[in-house]
Amino acid sequence: MNGFRAALALAAALLLSACYPPTTSHPVGTTVGLTLDPALTGLWENAVVANPDERGLYFHFLPTLDGKLTVLMVQSGDKPDADWNVVELTTVKLGANRFMNARLTMSDGKPDEGAPKGTIPLLYRIDAKDRMTLFLMDEKAVKAAILAGKIKGTIEKGDMGDAVITADPAALDKFMQTPAGLALFAKPTLLKKME
Amino acid sequence: MRSLRLALAAFAALSLSACVAVKEPIGTSAGYVNDPALEGLWRGKSSDDGPEGYYHVILNDDRTMTVVGIVPKTPDKKASWGTLELTTVMLGANRYLNARETGEDGGPPKDKDAAGSIPLYYTISGDTLSLFTFDEKKVTQAIRAGRIAGRIDSSKVGSMTIDTVSITADGPQLDAWLKSPDAPALFEPVMTLHR
């Protein structure tokens, strides 16, 4: 399991999945403008590790000069060979909801060449107690939505085939604000802001 | 990037003041064994007025360790991050590490001088990690007294005379010298980290 998958698995219960989470060809939110959410800046830790064999994960959200975020994810725990990964992130507020667009850039110090070309959309919410809930898209639900024609996309062959939402930016942003679009986000992971 | 450079420099004892060059890293004759006491997340400041940095120490399975260092943004400096490779060795009762900068903000180190290995003495007491670098004056005295092979090169910069101190002893000689119970007295504090 590569580092990013391990990290996301911890973050989004993808341990049993052999494929990447659904991606979009265009980042979510380009029609309204991607703006950095300053509330994310700092150090976060996943608050709940369901399986004792799983490792915790630190998330460092670092703003960059071009309005993006660099996220360093480092596994915690006292076992050797912790994975660490680097993700480039953009954020946007669409209606009442906040989204991230994530793209893996590095795993354990090496460029990740196996990462999908698009970006991975995540829905997130931050409460008053500095807790953030991250939602990844549910792969089966995304595939069903594509097959039902609710959103334009492609599905690779096989049970493990990756799903890519290929809708244009306007259609994508409109869809992501509908109940049908928001319903695709599941697999919540709770993070707690440490500093 | 300067903030991270300074932090990593401090972590690796590449302080802007004097430093002592060594012909070989410490511990080549004894063999490197990762020190599990170093693993995990450490925090510390590289200067009194700088932000507290985060240093994730990861044990690899090849007798090296990786440090992922992160310096948060400040009002006048952007956040930055970088990586170091460490090797650790125990000589007698003394703990040493060799640090080498391997990455900076996702790319290679920009400072070519940072490519070398920096020797450090360290202690761990509870949740405090103390790092020490060679004390230039004490090493100079030791070289002049013939206790260790070395060279002091003096050069003039304007009206100032600058000494460059180099230990030229080979690995076994260096390790034998640093195995002594008195060896820690050759070092001076450079940075203190805490869990």
Q: What are the pLDDT tens digits along chain A (195 aa)?
A: 344 444 454 444 333 344 678 999 999 999 999 999 999 999 999 877 667 777 788 999 999 888 899 999 998 877 777 889 999 999 999 999 999 999 999 888 888 777 778 999 999 999 988 999 999 999 999 999 999 999 999 999 887 788 999 999 999 999 999 999 999 999 788 999 998
Tokens linked to B49? 């007025």
| Alpha helical stretches, state H, B70-134 | none
Beta-carbon contacts of residue B48 (< 8 Å; ≥ 6 apart): none
Longest CA pairwise span in chain B (Å): 50
Decide if A7 contacts A73 (C-beta within 8 A).
yes
B59 to A60: CB separation less than 8 angstroms, yes or no = no
Name the closest residue on chain B to residue A104, using Cα atoms.
B106
Other beta carbons less than 10 A from residue A19's beta carbon: 16
Number of helices (H) and strands (E) in chain A: give both, helices first.
Answer: 4, 12
Tens-digit pLDDT profile for residues B33-77: 999 999 999 999 877 777 899 999 999 989 999 999 999 888 888
Alpha carbon of A192: minimum distance to chain B alpha carbons (Å):
16
Where is A146: in which H helix or E strand?
A: helix A139-147
Distance set, CA A4 to CA A63, A160, A185, B19 (Å)? 20, 17, 19, 38
A72 to B81: CB separation less than 8 angstroms, yes or no = yes
Alpha carbon of A154: minimum distance to chain B alpha carbons (Å):
32
Beta-carbon contacts of residue B136 (< 8 Å; ≥ 6 apart): B18, B19, B20, B163, B165
Of A63, A106, A108, the CB nearest to B79: A63
Tens-digit pLDDT profile for residues B103-129: 988 888 877 666 678 899 999 999 999
Of A41, A60, A109, the CB nearest to B83: A109
Domain ranges of chain A: 2-193
Share of chain A above pLDDT 90, in %: 63
Other beta carbons less than 10 A from residue B153's beta carbon: 9
> For residues A131-148, b (16+ Cβ closer than 10 Å) or e, as one string?
ebebbbbbbebbbebbee
The residue among A1, A175, A4 whose CA lies nearest residue A102 is A4
Size of interface A-B (CB pairs under 8 A): 63
Name the closest residue on chain B to residue A83, using Cα atoms.
B58
Tens-digit pLDDT profile for residues A147-174: 999 999 999 988 778 899 999 999 999 9
pTM for this entry: 0.85
Residue-level pLDDT at A187: 77
